[in-house]
Amino acid sequence: MALISCLILRATIWCLESKTNISKWGMTARTWPCCRLRLASVAAVLLLLCLTTSLLGGLWLNAGCWGTRSDQIKLETKDLAGDDPSWGPHKMAVIVPFRDRFDELLQFLPHLHLFLSRQRIRHHIYIMNQADGLRFNRASLINAGVLLSANDTDYIAMHDVDLLPLNDDLNYSYPALGPYHVSAPNLHPLYHYPTFVGGILLLTKKQFHLCNGLSNRYWGWGREDDEFYRRIQEAGLKVFRPDGITTGYETFHHIHDPSRHRDQKRIGEQRRVQFIRDRETGVSTVRFRLLTTTKLHVHSAPCTVFSVQLYCNRSQTPWCEIPRK
């Protein structure tokens, strides 16, 4: 079933992207409606089967299926939406930058949805799918996600898709005092330097805009979080982190495949610019094209997939593309 779900998720996100991608894969405008109709039919049948199973036996998720926990967690059907007003006045938009990591997404969505629902955290998960030929830009995807997220959300979680919280004492509630770094350096399985704010960071939308979001100049992997830490400092905000968590580096499950290629190339001026505080770009200047908006359920976990094409100003950041040899 997991394999079928993965294939359907891959095909659904692919078919919902731009006509540019359709031609890239050799599909014509005539075959496109057929593809969409067939996928919708298959997805409807699978959803019907899943819902029938859930109604008959209740929803059970074995949280140890990816080797992190062996206990089973039951969630009442009424909690599935993740948005019960009785849980509190605040609602979180979980912004997940994404490209091609379908296996990780299949694990991430049900796990985080159940985790937050157990804490009675009102939330909705937004998958920011970068559907263009440019290098991956995590910061711009987060900026776009904040702008596209619903008006009924008043705070965000900048959340990596490969980081699963395991300790129920981790706090995802409204960060009224300042940015709250859930994946603190003493808890993250990989990064332990004191100014690290990557992985999972909570901010109110007001705090995020006070920093003007993240720099749009970081194409490829890494460094955008370090620059954002400087923005937080200059905005006069204090970063708060979990206290009293005793599980150390076992607090999260990192599901990143070590064989997966990370684009760490530094091209031309990028080697120098990556260490400079960017005072020109941010959430106020991010440019993108929204291709599709798709609401999905993955193992009963609701989410919205925004497929976007980012804009690259090649006169300012020519490293948004890797030069062809």
- In tens, the pLDDT along 166-208 reads 999 999 999 999 999 999 999 999 989 999 999 999 999 999 9
Q: Are 87 and 120 in contact (CB under 8 A)?
A: yes
According to the model, what pLDDT value does residue 56 have?
41
Given a cut of 80, whether residue 62 has pLDDT beyond it is: no
What's the pLDDT at 63? Answer: 34
Residue 278 pLDDT class (50, 70, 90 cuts) = confident
Q: Are 167 and 247 in contact (CB under 8 A)?
A: yes
Q: Is the pLDDT of residue 268 over 70?
A: no
φ/ψ of residue 164, rounded to 5: -110, 120
Angle ∠(69,75,76) on CA atoms, nearest 5:
170
Confidence of residue 321 (pLDDT cuts 50, 70, 90): confident
Which range has highest mean pLDDT (50-59, 144-153, 259-268, 312-321)? 144-153
Structural tokens at position 185: 């350096």
pLDDT of 39 over the 80 cut: no
Higher pLDDT, 60 or 81: 81
Percent of the chain residues past pLDDT 70, beyond the cut: 68
Residue type, 61: L
Q: Is the pLDDT of residue 45 over 80?
A: no
Q: Whole-number mean pLDDT of the chain?
A: 80
Q: Which residue has the tokens 């596209």?
A: 148
- Averaged pLDDT, 10-36: 49
In three-state form (DSSP H/G/I as H, E/B as E, the rest C), the secondary structure along 15-58 is HCCCHHHHHHCCCCCCHHHHHHHHHHHHHHHHHHHHHHHHHHHC
pLDDT band of residue 14 (cuts 50, 70, 90) is low
The pLDDT tens digits for 201-210 are 999 999 999 9
What pLDDT is attached to residue 251?
97
Please state the rounded mean pLDDT for residues 97-126.
95
DSSP string covering 98-167, please? ESS-HHHHHHHHHHHHHHHHHTT--EEEEEEEE-SSSPP-HHHHHHHHHHHS-TT--EEEEE-TTEEE--
Of the pLDDT bands very low, low, confident and very high (cuts 50, 70, 90), residue 80 is low
Q: Is the pLDDT of residue 310 over 90?
A: yes
- Range with the lowest mean pLDDT among 41-55, 94-108, 157-171? 41-55
Residue 58 — very low, low, confident or very high, per pLDDT cuts 50/70/90? Answer: very low
How much is the pTM?
A: 0.77
More confident residue, 276 or 200: 200
Per cent of the chain over pLDDT 90 is 56
Output the pLDDT for position 324.
67
Confidence class for position 270, pLDDT limits 50, 70, 90: low
Examine the pLDDT at 72 and tell me if it is beyond 50: no
- The yes-or-no verdict on residue 141 having pLDDT over 60 is yes
CA–CA–CA angle 94, 124, 281 (5° rounding): 40
pLDDT of residue 322: 72
CB 104 within 8 A of CB 258: no
